Structure 1
Amino acid sequence: MGARVIFCNRFFWPDESATAQILSDVAFDLAARGQPVTVVTSQLSYSDPKRHLAAREEVAGVQILRVRTWGGGRQALLAKAAHFVTFYMAASTAAWREVRRGDVLVAKTDPPLLSIPMMLVARMRGAKFVVWIQDLYPELAGRLGVAIARGLTGRFLAMLRNKSLKAASANVVIGKRMLSILCSQGVREDQIVMIPNWTADRALLPNASGHQSLRKEWGFASSDTIVGYSGNLGRAHDVDTILHAAKELQLSGRSDIHFLFVGGGKTREYLYQRASTLGLGNIAYRPYVERSRLGESMAVADIHWLSLKPDLEGMIVPSKFYGIAASARPAIFVGSPTGEIAELLEKHGAGLTCPVGNSALLAQQIVQLADDPEFRTRLGRNGRRAIDESLNQRVSTSAWASLINRLVSQMDTRKNLWRDSA
């Protein structure tokens, strides 16, 4: 058997969390190319903590090894910490048993700081080590108010994290600002590879079949303009700006403009409460839809919004833009005008940006798009063109295949040199 790639992440197929979907795409693509792939993950489902998946199975050529952990899902902080610790222990043990000299071990960032124990496994087993960074911890947790990620403890954890990044053969980041932060932490630029995230662009088609019937089913008229949000709404996202814009539009008599929230997340309850306090009657809520119907759901909205708090730029990159663009819908980004998503929208002419807190401007932008269908269509078409040309799954998974091939070739070269000298 040739060199294997062993991925480690808390969730994997058939889970539909964002990290699971992205990892599944890469793992199955590599396996289809003939690369032996193993995934070490948990038996849990993000959306259904009571569900326990099989300990071992093979799917589409990928060997899946699922470890048991304590707890799981969306828990209180202490319970989640205990869950993380048991995953670190179980996954490290499983990886130790699986990894052989010459393999490539890839650690994602769910749970946070997974690269620290996986660095030790890779080093002791003589494997190439890769860190795939989706979120930058502990800095992100510290900014979101997690006390243990601040102060002396936070600096100590960051030091350990940086040690693992500097020991890696490659660190895969998903944005330019994340790359800059790593360089400022002392990671060499030649150790960093930027591979953006993606969406299921072959399934998220413009005006996906069935979206009109779904729109009707959800109670919207064909003359309505729907401003949508799809996916997880977490503490990294600003919602007050959109809520106050909705209030302004309601007071101005724009009964044709409705807001649709599809999904869940830690900030969902806050959204409910604030909308109720503001007396908003123009917001509709729907739970997560099945992945097979995501294209229809995305196409229901005429406009999509997404957000990121400005002080979190570079620590996280909202991937919702890719799904919005694939659906050929214009995006309004609520966040830093100089942020990563704002730059993408401007570069590709795929949407507008509104600073956090400027609800009056956001209301104006929504009205502009609502009253100018041709402008909406042009922005949406530009976004889909960007997906088709460069920001798609094929380009990113091919970049992953190239990285893995390079690392495997380096290991093969070292083996040959050792044999020649023996």
Structure 2
Amino acid sequence: MNTPPPLKNAEVRESAFAELRRERPFMRLWYARLLGTAAAQMLMVAIGWHMYDLTGSAWDLGLVGLYQFAPALLLALVAGHVVDQHHRGFILAICLGMQGVVALVLLAAHLAGHDSRGLLLGLSLLLGCVRAFQMPAQQALIPFLVPPGLLSRAMAFSSSGMQAAVIGGPALGGLLFVAGMPVVYGACVFLFAGACVLVSRMGYTHRPPAREPVTVATLLAGVRFIWDRKPVLGAVSLDLFAVLLGGAVALLPIFAKDILHVGPWGLGLLRGAPAVGALVMSIWLTHRPIERRVGRTLLVSVGAFGVCMVVFGLSESFALSLVALAISGAADMVNVVIRQTLVQLETPDAMRGRVSAVNSIFIGASNQLGEFESGATAALIGPVGSVVMGGVGTVLVALAWVRVFPTLAGRDAIGEGRERV
């Protein structure tokens, strides 16, 4: 009997990628996240522009961000418990639908001439509450829709869609602004509605878990879970410190205007460069997932991110600055895919909502506090010193984590701790 020749590595990769695309519930979620993320990016740009058009106040622009961040942080633990107790697809569909309603209200208010500062702030607060539930719900859904062997590819493929939406959403919103603000809000309503329909048609079977009462212990279960699993704690805290120290987004206007002398058009390119690098890397990781030495690769990627920030901080060349930011985005994407896959593989399904909620707290806090840290240190030692010091600090943290979390640094296969969960 003749046996078929073994598949070559490229054929194996292509077969696995084709298998991922055959997972229909996952692909519907992927398309839904693509539409929903693009709509959310457009809506954030539109609300910011709308607020500044009404009040002309930079303080009010800051309040829009604060009103969206504060409830997402305060409700995260409660949201994680709800996600673990109820149908995650239904929760995600409600969240997408509510954001569509917000866009519809803004459209109606603008057309009727009833838009106001208070309305925009109130709806920003509602968006923050909704997104507190959306993030853990959609993160906890992915491992339920694909086999464990495809999870790393699924995370990378999902990230590629997110990055494409992050790049394309604001760009599309900017083009639609030419036709007027109502067109932008109308497009958001349409995109959110489409995402909601796709999630509603995912068709996965929800298995209700045993009901748990809402107590301090159940709310903090995700915190305890991460604390007890050092590789997970190491990966999540590493990302926290990397973004907290190494982020330079808040200072990009200063670099564009006073250091690189490129003006608003250059600022737009600087803002988009990390997302372009991340998109390219996520596509690469979809086809060539990292299967060995994942702990070392994670630490190296964070160290590389820090080095890129040092190069960016010292650069006086616009081209070099763009390259440094693009590479930093690619390095950060390696960190994101490994961390998310590690967290999801080591977390039992009944805990994924609460663990994802804690993870979202780390991500949200690092982004917001990172911008504050950058601004505060820039006020003391200047923007160049702030970025360079943050980059060096990120490299030092990556080196320190080798000793602080040896189980993370020594992790070979990304799923080798799964059997101990």
- Give TM-score scaled by structure 1 length: 0.29
Q: Indicate the structure with greater helix content.
A: 2
Q: Indicate the structure with greater strand content.
A: 1
- Give TM-score scaled by structure 2 length: 0.29
Name which structure has the greater RCO, CA cutoff 8 Å, separation 6+: 2
